[in-house]
Structure 1
Amino acid sequence: MHTAYIDSYKEIMRVRFRDTDAQGHMFFANYLVFADEVAGNYMRELGFDWSDTAKLPSYVFTVNASCDYIHECHAGDEVEVEVGYEKLGNTSATLGFSMRRVSDGEALAKGSFIQVFVNRDSRKPMPVPDSVRKILNASADKKT
């Protein structure tokens, strides 16, 4: 299930009872919630706190979210969530994610978010900021 990322970041999250549905496993939309939470932490680790828009070189709009369910998980399960950039385009980027249960390594889900970098004033697509490219390229160089 491993995807080749330009750079990646992992966190372990515990599935809470409130994350589950009436069938006793994690509600489908919460896979995206877990991935989005870890993605936000990853961006902060890279030096981009998207919640402080005044300091950002652009806005970032998520224009597509996809998730492939592979196996169920339940309340109390620890889930390793890995996120990473798979592709940087001119004005967009694809941030992939994968999830596995810590106790047995079972693959649970994989998916992606497509992000478009947007000019704060015009709210139109703009090139991926050089600062974003530099940080991701520097991170990728450390891995090789």
Structure 2
Amino acid sequence: MGTATQTSLPFSEIVKVRFRDMDAQGHLYFANYMVYADEVLGSYMEELGLGAMNPHKLPCLIFTVNIHCDYVDEIGGNAEVNVCVGYSRLGNSSADAAFELYDNARGTLLAKGGLTQVFVDPDTRKSIPIPAFFKAGIVEQQPDITGASTI
């Protein structure tokens, strides 16, 4: 069993580092830190009712318009990464998500960062308000979120 991590983010999943995820130095390829974060954020969004796996049934599309990641430590193959995600800001038509990745065995921080999502109309590709049910779900999970009063 892994070591507990210190995070305020409400959702997490464990991802096992596969051989294909590593670089020539034998540790997790830097871009895969963001891939892991994006995959787990997608699971969190699914839990909140916005099922990205079937985009034709969604009330909107979600464009990622900015992403940043601070690399802190390395992790090798066959290790488990505890990927923690949540939201740090809710606007009218955009939201900032945050992520933290931890070595599940040691509990040490591997990387942290965030991304900005813009919610858009599938036909016009113009920004629209974040769906009310999704915004309400985020606020229910994270009542202290910045921008929550804009619902």
Q: TM-score, normalised by structure 2?
A: 0.85
Deviation at 1:2, TM superposition (A): 5.4
Shift of residue 23, structure 1, vs aligned partner = 0.9
Question: Which residue of the other structure, out of 26, 39, 48, is the alignment partner of 1:46?
Answer: 48
Residue 128 in structure 1 maps to residue 119 in structure 2: no
Shift of 1:3: 5.9
Q: CA deviation at 1:4?
A: 4.7
Gaps of 5+ in 1: none
Which residue identity lines up with residue 33 of structure 1 in the other structure?
V
Which residue, 69, 72, 87 being the options, matches 2:71?
A: 69
Tell me the number of residue pairs that the alignment of Structure 1 and Structure 2 aligns. 139
Structure 2 residue 83 is matched with structure 1 residue 81: yes
Distance 2:98 2:141 in 1: 16
Match of 2:94 among 88, 92, 113: 92
1:101 maps to amino acid: D
The AA in structure 1 aligned to 2:127 is P
Which whole-Å CA distance do the structure 2 matches of 1:113 and 1:75 have between them?
A: 26
Partner SS, residue 50 of structure 1: coil
TM-score between both structures, scaled by the size of structure 1:
0.89
Q: Runs of 4+ in structure 1 displaced over 2 angstroms?
A: 1-5, 138-141
Percent identity of equivalent pairs: 47
- Point out the more displaced range, 39-48 or 132-141: 132-141
Deviation readout 1:87-123 (Å, 9 max, x if unpaired): 1011100111000101111110001111000011210
Give the SS at the match of 1:48.
Answer: coil
Contact 1:86 1:94 in 2 (8 A): yes
Q: Is the 2:64–2:116 contact (alpha carbons within 8 Å) kept by the matching residues of 1?
A: yes
Runs of 5+ consecutive residues of structure 2 not aligned to the other structure? 144-151
CA-based RMSD: 1.6
Residue among 57, 60, 66 paired with 2:59: 57
- Which residue matches 1:35? 37
Q: Equivalents in 2 of 1:95, 1:140: separation in Å?
A: 12
Contact 2:7 2:84 in 1 (8 A): no
| Alpha-carbon distance in structure 1 between the residues aligned to 2:123 and 2:73 | 43
- Counterparts of 2:135 and 2:49, CA distance in 1: 12
